[in-house]
Amino acid sequence: MSDWRTYVRKVEPYVPGEQPKEKNVIKLNTNENPYPPSPRVAEALMEFDYDELRRYPDPESTILLDALAETYHVDKNQIFVGVGSDDVLAMSFMTFFNSPKPIIFPDITYSFYDVWADEFRIPYETKPLKEDFRIDVDDYLVENGGIVLPNPNAPTGLAEGLEVYERIIRSNPDSVVIIDEAYVDFGAESVFPLIEKYDNLLVVQTFSKSRCMAGSRIGYAFGNPELIRCLNDVKYSFNSYTMDRITQKLGTAMLMDPEYFEHTVQSIIETREWTKQELQKLGFTFGDSKANFIFAKHESVYAEEIFKALKEAKIYVRYFKKPRIDNYLRISIGTRKEMETLVLFLQEYLSR
């Protein structure tokens, strides 16, 4: 064997949900938004002058920062933007998690956290969720090198009360606590206002789920200006021109249409609640998801079997063959019509 292999960074990569090449599938496996972005985004795309592509983009993404500052009523220096929240989270791990003490996160959570920890050689410990998939706050009141928690959690969809997150943030003044709010707009309460109160809190959000733009890769974080400065120092030492010119404009256009955003989010919440009722009638059980997906198991048929049958029928949902959750399906909320097709299929399949 050649020597170079000894010095390769070896990591086991994150496995994203499948993006099927075939058309006419019902895609409920990666929590994308079933609606297109606002018509404002279409206009911005049409108006884009391709000659601009000769120039590097604004490394600070100023137009997008300004629009975020206005939308959320914070100062620009309290916001960091990245190429999807995966980029923001990766940068945050690199920036804030350099302690020899382990960082902590739940055993059942976003499956990218342990991948980044391995990638950056960050020691970590996972804390088992309780039987009902809720977090045990005491697990997070121990010495640690940092904490990352999603609100609501993925793939369970469960959100804790604000006081739970606040207690964890307040009790860990010497660690940065990252709250990953990829799904918060679908009904959970955001910890975002707490950035004014705690200098160790970083709140990460994304355009991929509630803002219909997974294809553009836009993520952002809120925190006190010093945290944001630290993040930017690391970003500019890694790759400064991350967000391209088109994306900066399209993201800004999306923020200019809050009515569209609220309307589409509301539709998804309504469809989610309808789907919950239907799944319950079919013998599924699940927690009270506050996200754009339902994490469900069936009373008598194995999840993996249902998963395969659905795939045959070109309905893609997510199945994780992992301890504790291998009898669950994570079903993204699509349009009402897509969910009706899913329910019809399940009615037939389960009554065989």
Ligand X SMILES: *Cc1c(COP(=O)(O)O)cnc(C)c1O
Q: How many residues bind ligand X (CB under 6 A)?
A: 13
Task: Kindly write out the interface string for residues 101-140 of this chain, putting x where it contacts ligand X by CB under 6 A and - elsewhere.
Answer: ---------x------------------------------
Task: Kindly write out the interface string for residues 203-222 of this chain, putting x where it contacts ligand X by CB under 6 A and - elsewhere.
Answer: ---x-x-----x----x---
Helices (H), the chain: 39-47, 62-72, 85-96, 113-119, 162-170, 225-236, 245-255, 258-281, 303-312, 336-350
As separate numbers, helices (DSSP H) first and strands (DSSP E) second, the chain gives 10, 12
Site for ligand X, residues 173 to 192, rule: CB under 6 A: 180, 182
Q: Is residue 286 within 8 Å of residue 278, measured between CB atoms?
A: no
| Residue 80 dihedral angles phi and psi, to the nearest 5° | -120, 135
Task: Kindly write out the interface string for residues 75-94 of this chain, putting x where it contacts ligand X by CB under 6 A and - elsewhere.
Answer: ---------xxx--------
User: Which residue is associated with the tokens 């960050």?
Assistant: 122
| Residue 318 β-bridge partners | 330
CA 126 to chain centre: 19
Task: Kindly write out the interface string for residues 26-65 of this chain, putting x where it contacts ligand X by CB under 6 A and - elsewhere.
Answer: -----x----------------------------------
Hey, what are 187's tokens? 């009904």
Could you tell me the smallest distance in angstroms from the CB atom of residue 250 to ligand X?
14
The verdict on 157 binding ligand X (CB under 6 A) reads no
The verdict on 150 binding ligand X (CB under 6 A) reads yes
Could you tell me the smallest distance in angstroms from the CB atom of residue 300 to ligand X?
29
Measured from the CB atom, the residue of 114 and 180 that comes closer to ligand X is: 180
CA distance 264 to 106: 31
Residues at the interface with ligand X (CB under 6 A):
31, 84-86, 110, 150, 154, 180, 182, 206, 208, 214, 219
